[in-house]
Structure formats: C-alpha cells, structure tokens
Structure 1
C-alpha cells in the first residue's frame, strides 16, 4: 500500500469499530478495516468507498501473531491504529467462571492489542505523527460483580496503554485510551450472553438513552483529530443515566 494517512481499525465488522471506520474516513483518513468476518468488512469498505471516501478490507484475527505480522508488511507507514477488537463473554462470579472464556477475553482484548501495537508501532513512528488508540472500557477502571473476567481483561488493556505512553514518550506517537461505559450495540450483550436475547435486553432495561456506537466513534475521532501536540491520555464516556459501573438510573 502506498504511504498516506492510513488508519487501521480492528474489530471493524460491527458496532464501535464499524462506526469509527466511517468517522475516520469522513475525517480524511484512508481506513483499513480488519476483522474475522470478511463479508462484513467488505460490505463496509464498499459503503465507505461509494460515499466518496477510501477504505480497504483486510480479514484478520488479531490473536494470530503470524497473520498480524504479515498484515503489517503491507504498510510503510501508518498514521492511526485503533485497537477496538475485544468483547465480553459470560457474567459468572469468580467461583464458577469458565476459564476458557477468561482466556478468550484476555487473548482478544489484551494480546490482540499487543500484537497490533507491536507490529505497527515502527510504522506509526515512521509516519512522524502516529496515534495509537486503545478502546478499553469503564470496566478497565472499576469492577462489578459477575464481571471479573472482562474487568481483568480491560484492566490489562488500560495498563498496556498507560505503560506504552511512558515507554515511548519523546517519540512522534500519541497513546490515547477511550473508555466507554454502557453502549448499546447490536452484538455486544448478545455475544456476552451466548445469544440469549432476554438476558441481553436486561442489560439496557429501563435506560432510555445508553450510548450508541456512533457516540463512541465521535469521541474516538475527536481525540484522533486533535492537534499533534495534544494527547488525550484517557477519556471516559458514559451515558447521562450511568454514574458508575454499578449505579445506573432506570425508568422501570
């Protein structure tokens, strides 16, 4: 790929990732959409290109390091990396949580972020003005019952971003963390509860206006498009109805 203002977005097949890709394309970036579901990212790339912007789909599993390293060879420079791929599985207490679910969440939310960041960091630095965005969660800053596996993974993502910022200070790469609270998307809660629509609906029950994927995408795009000398270290974004992970106003 020829050098340009390239923004790589992981987990771009739906939700926050897809919305962020649209926003960054509108902001003038050539977006590279990565996810495992090729049909989804191909359709999104077509939508973005048909709108007069630039997008390329690249099927990728962020937990496959060999595939990530091969992906990185396609670029000489990259301007933005949005580490969005992640997700939650289950809501069991520590005593009965499935270790396989914990492992999957850690591999995707933390190791996947590590893989892409390590592979693309030289390209981001070569751009002379790079930005790494880690999409964590308010779960990365406080805990709640039944969420330990996801909370542990998102704490890992938060610490990765915080440590990277310390380690590369002085280099032309910003490290931004965006931590969303309650976001209602088509898939997040459904995936967490194994497709159980009733359980998924209860997450948002009585909450008139949870965040949308577009709300978070707007936030991410705002942080990325600040002047180069401005680093938004951490931006926590919640709906007005949510004061904390465990304090949510519901009209029931």
Structure 2
C-alpha cells in the first residue's frame, strides 16, 4: 500500500484506539494507543516456571505451592498480560460482545513476548481449548480457535482446530469457585483422534488462565491420548489479589 492511499484511508476511516477510541496517527497493527497500552501490564518475573503465576516483589522464579502440591499434566504455562484493567476490557469485548476483530491485537500482544517460550517448547501442533457445540452456536465462534489461527502463522506451528471436543455441557466458569471449576470441567473433554496427538508435543491455547481448571483437564486428556508433552499459552493470566 502506497503512502498516499494509506493517508486517504486514514481520512475516510481514521484509526482509533480499540479501547478509548482516541485517534492514533501511527496505529500499526494493534490499534491501541500508548496510554491504554501502558495500562496493560505484562506478566513479569519472578513467576512459577510450571503454571506461570507471577509473584509480587523481587527474587528468583520458583515453583508455587499449588504446583508443588499437585503437579499438572502440562509441562509449563505462560501468559503475556495480567488479566486486569484494559486487558480484561479488551478480552470481554472480544469474547462476550462478539467483537471478533479484536482477536488480532490480542494475538499480536501475545505472539512477540511468548515467541521464545513457544520456541523452547518445540511444540508440533497448536490445539485450542474447545467449546461445547451449544455454546459455539450461541457465540458463533470459538475465541481460542481465532487466536490460534494468528498464533499458528506467527509461530509457524500447525493448528489442529478440531483435535479436541467438549463432550459435556458445563456451566460458565466465571461464576464458580476454584473447587467448583474443577468439578465443572472434569470429564468434559476428549480427543477426537488420538493419532493426531500421539507422541507429539502439543501447545494448548486459550484466552485466559484463571484457576487453570480448564487447561489442566484438557492437558490431562491430551496426555492420556498419548501426547508426549503439553505446554499452555494464553493471552492473559488472572492473579488473585
């Protein structure tokens, strides 16, 4: 696209911040203004090398109490952003207000900071956390699949959209306690074709890691189907205050 045509488009469709709607002269691919971007803090060290939960203060990475008590079936999980403020607002608009164009800034905000983690995992395929068919009809899209399509291109890892399925209806996790979330998703997933994941390193992807109940259950099912390793990537990580 030449400079004149780009300027013409900016006049017709001025680039606005997805969050505050301010005009951005150089919007780039994110369309998030610098002020809003500064209010989207990254997940930073020190953190648990297993589940990726960040710790307050300074120090070295160390395994958190929850992972010491019960080792998950995934090798490691990482998120790019803290699930708060503008990040939460962007994800809610994407997921619950059906603004599917927001998958691009969310995916790109994740792709660069987690590129080295994904490369170290040497994953052979990306598997999105599945939605129940009823939820998919209601929403019209699987947010993890749409993110996974961009991550697949950014990281050069093939996407297996239908590798897993949700075989039982589950209540929305947002309203449940940690214990209720674990019970809610137990036995809710399976692998369509074990041959797709058997002996392979899988990158399980979703939008938010909250208590980890969903990704832990999915990782358990993937390992049971023969996956050699499972790593987890999400856009955001919720941290209890």
TM range (shorter): 0.3 to 0.5
- What TM-score comes out, normalization by structure 2 length? 0.34
